[in-house]
Amino acid sequence: MTCPAASGDAAAAEPFITGPHPVFEPHPDMAQAFGSLWTAVVRSGGAVGFPADAPEEDIRAAAEQAVAEVAARRRQMLILGDGAALAGTVFLRRGAGPVLAHRAEVLKLMVRPDLQGKGWGTALLDAAVAQARALGLEQLLISTRGGTSLPEFYAARGWTEVGRFPGGLRLSADDVRDEHWFQLRLS
């Protein structure tokens, strides 16, 4: 899916986004690019595993680990590109062992803050679902932070809420949220 910039002054400033594309062999700069994207999403309040004031070095260390998992073939990564810049990501982590091999978790679905609300999150999610189907998976699982529009986002795309962990996410001493779990059956 691509979104070419239209002609005209206002549209000319729109980025040219490509993807989603699978990443099979991460570029040596991928961890740095992913760390920058993840930090930008966290700073904008995104529900991607860190509170908004998390130390950048912690986010970057997590980004390095995630990309190392891709390089080791323990995760699959799909990306959106904006020229040479990373504009969005989603990961699939297949269940380990024979009992869980029929499913995968969808992780770190994120889109650069200036591109949010334009359908790119849906494009990444759809690409993750298509990739899971191509792998012969039967189920996907994703968790998300309550107190955001994300539970409604997933429900509107056919995902079923299968559980809720009340107070499972502590963003700060006075900001505790529920964690919502969603499932999508692929077969």
CATH number where 145 lies: 3.40.630.30
* 174 assigned to some structural domain: yes
* 88 assigned to some structural domain: yes
* 143 assigned to some structural domain: yes
Single out the residue of 33, 41, 128 nearest to residue 82, CA to CA. 33
Domain count, the chain: 1
Single out the residue of 171, 172, 184 nearest to residue 48, CA to CA. 171
Both structure tokens of 128: 């993750």
Q: What is the mean pLDDT of the chain?
A: 93
* 135 assigned to some structural domain: yes
* 42 assigned to some structural domain: yes
H or E, element range at 132: helix 120-134
Choose the weakest-confidence range: 12-16, 35-39, 79-83, 105-109: 12-16
Q: What percent of the chain has pLDDT over 90?
A: 89
* 28 assigned to some structural domain: yes
CB of 90 closer than 8 Å to CB of 125: yes
Which residues form the domain of 167? Answer: 16-185
* 10 assigned to some structural domain: no
Is there a cis peptide before residue 20, judged by omega within 30 degrees of 0? yes
Q: What is the pTM of this model?
A: 0.90
